[in-house]
Amino acid sequence: MNAPNLEKEKKYNKWVVVLSIVIPIAVAVLFGVNLRDLGFDVAPLTMLPPIYAAINGLTALILIAAVVAIKKKNIVLHENLMTTAIGCSVIFLVLYVAYHMTSDSTVFGGEGAIKYIYYFILITHILLSIVIIPFVLITYVRAITNSIERHKKIAKITFPMWLYVALTGVIVYLMISPYYA
């Protein structure tokens, strides 16, 4: 990689570190805040879970389409799809936090083996949703700074993790949706 690209990447990497720390902390803090408990007269945003689950599903489809596009050497389409996938993830996150700031948490009501399967999927989804943040950001930075070989290397790790997070988001929603009040 040439020196100008490395310098650009270093500038962006400071933001990668900051965002990789701030986003999970902000989500955790906001997740614990219920506006109604603080005296705000807000209606629960009960319509959001199927919407943000659909956004997760759309993100998964976009990620797959982006891989197909790059394998066909359609770089512009790949770039546009990846930018859209990041945008979908940001929209998901905003809606997810908005829902949890206005609604009580839903308890999973399944019993037996399905309960353990649900919690395994949920826990791995949550943990990887935190881990994926720096991977997505680093992968994106390497692309926009034209560090393509380094981009390809990390993208091979980022893609399956991000796809897992997107798909398990849908699965978690489908499993818990019968228990929404």
CATH number, domain of 99, equals: 1.20.120
Question: What residue numbers bound the domain in which 152 lies?
Answer: 3-26+46-179
CA distance 25 to 129: 12
For residue 38, being part of any structural domain is answered with: no
Confidence of residue 116 (pLDDT cuts 50, 70, 90): very high
- Per-residue tokens: 112: 């037996």
Quote the strand ranges of 64-139, DSSP E: none
Mean pLDDT of 162-168: 98
For residue 57, being part of any structural domain is answered with: yes
For residue 134, being part of any structural domain is answered with: yes
For the stretch 1-30, pLDDT in tens is: 556 677 788 889 899 999 999 999 999 998
Residue linked to tokens 């999970």: 24
At a CB cut-off of 8 Å and minimum separation 6, what does 58 contact? Answer: 88
Identify the pLDDT of residue 3: 62
Q: What is the pTM of this model?
A: 0.91
What total number of domains does the chain contain? 1
For residue 68, being part of any structural domain is answered with: yes
Q: To the nearest whole percent, how much of the chain has pLDDT over 70?
A: 97
Identify the pLDDT of residue 153: 97
For residue 126, being part of any structural domain is answered with: yes
- Per-residue tokens: 154: 């990390």
CA distance 39 to 53: 29
**130: nearest Cα among 5, 23, 13, 38:** 23
For residue 41, being part of any structural domain is answered with: no
**129: nearest Cα among 170, 69, 100, 169:** 169
Identify the pLDDT of residue 45: 87
